[in-house]
Amino acid sequence: MIKQKKNGELIIISGTTCAGKGSVIEKLLERNKNLSLSLSYTSRPIRAGEVDGVDYKFISHEEFEEKIKKGDFLEYAKVRYGEYFGTPKEEVKRLLSTGKDVILEIDVQGAQQIKELFPETILIFIMAPSMSEVKKRIKIRGKETKDQVLDRFITAYKEINEIPKYNYVVINDELEKAVEKVEAILLSEKCRVDRIEEISVENQEEFMHELLMDSDFTNESISNKIS
Ligand code: 5GP
């Protein structure tokens, strides 16, 4: 009865440092088989524990700039320490055309570029419950210098100012609840009238006739009401 658009939806998930967006996305992908995550390219150095082709496609600065020239990116930005991050155009187009909903885990600059290109994109911002909680999470991770931590907080405060450009904000105080909130957003977005290609119901005349002829309805009241 309801024909949905064949193409999948484009979903952007951004968030402040240590908001746990990676964990939210991981759970979403586990539980929703129609969702897929676009793998970004980056020029930043690979970190211990990261895998090329899993966390990012790691390429050099020069290779990244070559790809920019060729128009290979849907969006790209210099995110931190002058390093490039970008979303591959062809791969996202391919995934959307198979009907998959595609998540882009990108920063606020990239989100803005995509929103301008595709205004129907769903933009979700994930936040930790407080900056003190972020400080706690960074301390537990304990991998960074004070300068790096300060830089993370400067970026976080800047990103928070950009929240009005998003459609939804989700506070990640408890992972399970945050995932449920994102699932609820995606579910309701699917039901939006402007995301439905066609609504068709049975032909009225034929259906009414069938109803009148239906011997399961024997009392007079139904035919009286119709005629
Ligand atoms: P990192 O992986 O270095 O911890 O953080 C990378 C930052 O860059 C995150 O804020 C992430 O959302 C963002 N990012 C990752 N991939 C892309 C991308 O393809 N485009 C843009 N604009 N940002 C990205």
pLDDT tens across 157-183, in order?
A: 999 999 999 999 999 999 999 999 999
Is 143's pLDDT higher than 80? no
Segment 31-36 mean pLDDT: 96
CATH 3.10.530.10 is the classification of domain 2-197: no
Residue 148: pLDDT band (50, 70, 90) is confident
Between CA 99 and CA 101 the distance in angstroms is 7
Output the residue whose Cα is nearest ligand 1's atom 14.
106
With a 6 Å cutoff on the Cβ, whether 73 touches ligand 1 is no
pTM for this one? Answer: 0.89
Q: What is the mean pLDDT of residues 178-189?
A: 97
Residue 135 predicted with pLDDT over 70: yes
Q: Which of 57, 106, 154 to mutate to test the pocket of ligand 1 (most atoms within 8 A of CB)?
A: 106
Mean pLDDT of the chain: 91
The answer, yes or no, to whether residue 223 has pLDDT greater than 60, is no
Confidence of residue 221 (pLDDT cuts 50, 70, 90): low
Nearest residue by C-alpha to atom 12 in ligand 1: 106
Specify the pLDDT at position 220: 62
Q: Grade residue 226 by pLDDT with cuts at 50, 70 and 90.
A: low
Token code pair at residue 41: 């390219």
Q: Which residue has the higher pLDDT, 48 or 84?
A: 84
For ligand 1, say whether the CB of 170 is within 6 Å of any of its atoms: no
pLDDT in tens, 57-114: 999 999 999 999 999 999 999 987 889 999 999 999 999 999 999 999 999 999 999 9
Q: Is the CB of 25 under 6 A from ligand 1?
A: no
Domain boundaries, the chain: 2-197
- The reply to whether ligand 1 has any atom less than 6 angstroms from the CB of 106 is yes
CA distance 18 to 127: 8
